[in-house]
Structure 1
Amino acid sequence: MKLAGLSLKENTSGKHKGRTKITKRGRKKLRALLFRVCMIMVAKNSAFKALHAYYTQRPDNPLKKMQSLIALCNKLIRILFAIGKKQFEFSEERMLKDIPHMRAKIEVEKAA
């Protein structure tokens, strides 16, 4: 995430607490590529679509659409790193089970 420039940084000084933004101190092309891939993943992949919907529509602290896409870019980086390191196949169900708020939704859907 740091290499892509997607790390978060808060702009603060003394008592002033500023906005939190991404640092943009990394590979510009990597960041652009990840963003484009996330846009397609949200459109085509049901797991990423569900996560995007949750992030933008959650009752407490909903994210704006762009903030949600950046969060999904970070998620995609972590997934790709784990796949490369541990050599396993991507599973949408497994990804959603690892997220506590999504696990409850999956269990409700299976029960119905």
Structure 2
Amino acid sequence: MKSNTNTSNPYGRSDLHTIARWIPDGSRVLDLGCGNGDFLKTLKQEKQVTGYGIELDAEKIANCVASGVNVIQTNLDQGLADFDSNSFDFVVLSLTLQAVHRPRLLLQEMLRVGQHGIVT
């Protein structure tokens, strides 16, 4: 079985490498279900993006904070009410949609707060 990781790119996973190519330098990015924050951290280093990660797991949040990633602890099933409409250029939802109970609400919220939504 082919691995979804690629050690020759700074983003690790091939899908994240593809997503990163779509995001212009200096963009405002919201990463939903950001995990340890590695994707946002690398985007910040490689493309000077600004933004936030959303995560529920306290241990992963601690890793984000330790890495200097802006992170907010919240349940994605509650929507994105903390953010104004069009707050971000890109909203990324990678390997997370299957974990939410209200996917339709989350997708609608992605379109509200971001100019572009990317789901993998």
The TM-score with structure 2 as length reference comes to 0.22
Q: Rg bigger for which structure?
A: 1
Question: Hey, which of these two has a bigger chunk of helix by percent?
Answer: 1
The TM-score with structure 1 as length reference comes to 0.23
